[in-house]
Structure 1
Amino acid sequence: MTSLSAELEELVPAWLTLPEVAERLSLPVSRARQLLKERQLLAVRRPESKVLSVPAAFLDGPQILKGLPGTLTLLADNRFSEEEALRWLFTPDESLPGTPVEALAQNRGTEVRRRAHALGF
């Protein structure tokens, strides 16, 4: 987990602390930490708080956004750092349209994962 650049602070509109994520998912904080290790979620340390924070867009109500874990795995397999993965997920893409994380939220995960896979070639 890395510290966050100012550019990413602007790209990601809302954040949740790990205890907030655990509460929303009805899990203990230790299980939420395990989700990070399993690449089900991604967290970074924000400059002002120094605590692990997860983009709020990664949760869809009381569950993890459908398609996010597979996308995070593809990005990690392509050697994306946490910050690079966040930048890719939250940077607008005219061809989607919107951002990859918005496309995941709109159940267009197949296209997002196809693009993430293509980054490695």
Structure 2
Amino acid sequence: MSDVPLSERDLSALVDDWLDWDQAAAQLEVTPAKVRTMIRDHELAGAVPAPGERPGVPALFIEDGLPVKGLPGLLTQLHDNGYDDRECIAWIFSDLDLPGRPIDALRENRGSEVKRRAQAMGF
């Protein structure tokens, strides 16, 4: 794993596909204002991927019109331990030898594995 702190990781390199608020809202069948509320309530996480870009939500956070199963609980756990959205996204998209990235484990319904890893890493 990288020695670069989570807060300094290049999110545009970690996350291939981003949705702006309007695109996320369309996939979730809600308003862009609701997307912002979902981010505030840790149902989703959002960030500016790179300087000069618009804020967005990683596309892999949404599956079948809903936040990926287990994502809201994981985000709450990370936020409760002092992580901001950028750090949460960086952690979720980093290879942690689960095998693979936490986002992949969540999408494969292996969320308990991800939560255990978050706890074991001292979160």
TM-score (norm 1): 0.87
From the two aligned structures, give the one with the greater strand fraction. 1
Shift of 1:5: 5.6
- Please give the alpha-carbon distance, in whole angstroms, between the structure 1 residues aligned to 2:17 and 2:24: 12
Q: When the two structures are aligned, how many residues end up with a matched partner?
A: 117
Q: Kindly provide the amino acid, as one letter, of the partner of residue 16 in structure 2.
A: P
TM alignment of 1:34-53, pairs within 5 A: 34-47=37-50, 50-53=53-56
- Please give the alpha-carbon distance, in whole angstroms, between the structure 2 residues aligned to 1:46 and 1:114: 27
- Please give the alpha-carbon distance, in whole angstroms, between the structure 2 residues aligned to 1:101 and 1:107: 10
TM alignment of 1:96-111, pairs within 5 A: 96-111=98-113
Call closer, same or farther: CA 1:110–1:53 in 2, change over 3 Å. same
Percent of aligned pairs sharing the same letter: 37
The runs of 5 or more residues in structure 2 that have no matched partner are: 1-6
Are the aligned partners of 2:44 and 2:75 in contact in 1 as well (CA < 8 Å)? yes
Are the aligned partners of 2:75 and 2:88 in contact in 1 as well (CA < 8 Å)? yes
TM-score (norm 2): 0.86
Aligned twin of 1:112: 114
Q: 2:88 aligns with which of 85, 88, 96?
A: 85
Q: 1:62 aligns with which of 60, 65, 79?
A: 65
Shift of 1:34: 0.8
Shift of 1:45: 1.8
Q: Kindly provide the amino acid, as one letter, of the partner of residue 100 in structure 1.
A: P
The runs of 5 or more residues in structure 1 that have no matched partner are: none
Aligned twin of 2:18: 15
CA-atom RMSD in angstroms:
1.8
Are the aligned partners of 2:14 and 2:90 in contact in 1 as well (CA < 8 Å)? yes
- Please give the alpha-carbon distance, in whole angstroms, between the structure 2 residues aligned to 1:15 and 1:52: 9
Are the aligned partners of 1:78 and 1:120 in contact in 2 as well (CA < 8 Å)? no
